Structure 1
Amino acid sequence: MTSRPCFHLAIPVTDIAAARAFYGGVLGLAEGRSDERWVDWNFYGHQVVTHCTGERRSEPAGHNLVDDHQVPVPHFGLVLSIPDFHDLAAKMRAAGAEFVIEPYLRFAGLPGEQWTMFFLDPSGNAMEFKAFADESQIFAV
């Protein structure tokens, strides 16, 4: 049996209804299996599970300086196509999202040039989405 690579990530959330509103409503992800305290999401073909812990992250554990921006750590996200990246950025703006790092072109003209943006979910989980004009540059040094 051959399968395509797919990641699975479980993240803590404070409120399942808020998770549904954000992941399903704002991000537009399809909901899979669920129970009172967890929901599976189709995260662009990958599985993200929100598990209700009742505890909100007050702030990221730390930050790292990348291209003159303080990147929140930990964070998770995905590499999108450039059109999908800009569509998501517009969707987040329309929803009134507060960006941790506004969408911008990072490493312009250098190896690994990429569009990137960071925002928090309602439980304080930091998320990064990025896009490369040339996906062969994802691991460029």
Structure 2
Amino acid sequence: MLNPFHLSFVVPDKEEAKRFYLDILGCSIGRDNPTWFDILFYGHQITIHQASDKMQAFQIDHFGPILSKEEWLSVLKVCKLNDVEFAANSLIKNEGTEDESGKFLIKDPSGNTLEFKYYLDFERTVG
């Protein structure tokens, strides 16, 4: 079993980020206060801070969850229905084999890139 990770970053518009992660990606909110909030991001904790004089927003190169194929297809569908900006369209490799995998990359409202992946046999990738 893998342990959850924590990721924290700063965005220019906290409320816009909150709407994206909660309403589009379907994440749930944890702690919430005027300058930051936590979300449960596919089993992991992300803390999103509002940019200020003391904290500047910088785009993250990329991060994201590894999901089951069913979850991956569901998130892909929701992103397309909500006109989310894709940084890389969905791609499935080795379809129909034990090495099948898929990925796509999207942009959040702050320009951060999120990579969504699946592996039919995740244990083979870490093994």
Return the structure number with greater strand share.
1
Distance change in 2, residues 1:10/1:56 (3 Å): closer
Identity across matched positions, percent: 30
* Larger displacement relative to structure 2 (78-87 or 131-140): 131-140
TM-score when normalising by structure 1: 0.77
Tell me, yes or no, if structure 1 residue 105 matches structure 2 residue 92.
Answer: yes
Give the RMSD, CA atoms, in angstroms: 2.3
Gaps of 5+ in 2: none
Partner of 1:50: 48
Query: Which deviations, in whole Å up to 9, do the C-alpha atoms of 1:15-49 show, x marking residues without a partner?
Result: 11101110011001111101111110011221011
1:77 aligns to what SS in structure 2?
Answer: coil
* One-letter identity of the residue aligned with 2:24: V
With normalisation by structure 2, the TM-score equals 0.85
Query: What letter matches 1:37 in structure 2?
Result: T
Partner in structure 2 of residue 138 of structure 1 = 125
Question: Deviations 1:102-140 (Å, cap 9, x if unpaired)?
Answer: 11113x278854100001110011110100111122236
CA contact under 8 A between 2:4 and 2:43: conserved in structure 1? Answer: yes
- 1:80-119 matches, within 5 Å, as 80-106=67-93, 108=94, 113-119=100-106
Paired residues, number: 123
Q: Which residue matches 1:120?
A: 107
